[in-house]
Amino acid sequence: MKATPPHPRLSPPALVGPSRARVPAAHAEDIHQILISAPRIRRRVEEMAHAISEDYRGERLVIVALLNGTILFLADLIRHFEFPLRVDLIGVSSYRGGTSSGELEYTKRLKLDLKDHHVLIVDDILDTGKTLRAVTRELALQKPTSIRTCVLLDKPSGRSDSFQADYVGFQVPHLFVVGYGLDYDERYRNLPFVGVLQQHIYEPETPAHP
């Protein structure tokens, strides 16, 4: 078995701006703008899955995904893998209702043994980097063969340290995004796209229709 998987083969992530995709009428009250449309997410997730497959084929791989923001990303990513792997979930949260508390709270611990396995940690978005740095450090205690990280979104403007993910889907600007698993106060996880909230949602004193 190779000690470390080859250097990630994924093309660099695009920096996304407002998309031309129209916000569906059903969501227009809450969503100001679509940043990444559902078809664009689908194409990129497939590219990510392909690169990860090439890098880990034939290896003992455990995917460790962080709840709850990865629910859609994880499901779409792993359905492309055509080799045996194991999946486990950990519950860790640093945000409550949209603001960072700075503290990590474990709500579900890992079940699988990671020793002598390659580990790929999957998260929805890399912001300050505190979550993935802490989780990586914790999982490393189990002495896996290697650890890498995979995120759908990277918000480099939020970073408080130099943490980099190995597989990144898209770079997003300094905005709070929701959809495709990402929430605001546990809402909007079901949206098939990534978008930006209307201001009146997080600043309720702002009238919806001025």
Reading the block at residue 3, the tokens are: 């000690």
Amino acid making up residue 9: R
CB-wise, 23 or 126, nearer to Mg ion?
A: 126
Reading the block at residue 146, the tokens are: 């290697």
The residues pairing with 194 across neighbouring beta strands, listed in sequence order, are 36
Q: How many alpha carbons lie under 13 Å from residue 159 in its C-beta half-sphere?
A: 16
Considering the candidates 30, 123, 124, 127, report the single residue annotated as catalytic.
127
Q: Could you say which of 56, 167, 170, 176 contacts ligand 5GP (CB under 6 A)?
A: 176
Query: Which residues in 97-136 contact ligand 5GP (CB under 6 A)?
Result: 123-131
Residue 51, CA distances (Å) to 28, 110, 153 in order:
35, 25, 16
94 binds ligand 5GP (CB under 6 A): yes
CB 115, CB 60: distance < 8 Å: no
Query: Which residues in 2-61 contact ligand 5GP (CB under 6 A)?
Result: none
Place of tokens 């998309």: 19
Q: Taking contact as CB under 6 A, which single stretch among the options 10-18, 43-51, 80-88, 175-183 is the one that binds ligand 5GP?
A: 175-183
CB 58, CB 6: distance < 8 Å: no
178 binds ligand 5GP (CB under 6 A): yes
Q: Say whether 30 is catalytic.
A: no
Name the minimum Å distance from CB 89 to ligand 5GP: 13
154 binds ligand 5GP (CB under 6 A): no
CB-wise, 5 or 181, nearer to ligand 5GP?
A: 181
Q: Could you say which of 5, 13, 69, 179 contacts Mg ion (CB under 5 A)?
A: 69
Q: Which of 153, 187, 175, 170 is nearest to 32 (CA)?
A: 175
Q: Which helix (H) or strand (E) holds 153?
A: strand 146-154
Q: Give the binding site for ligand 5GP (CB under 6 A).
A: 69, 94-95, 123-131, 155, 176-178, 182-184
Which residues are tagged catalytic?
127
Q: Give the binding site for Mg ion (CB under 5 A).
A: 69
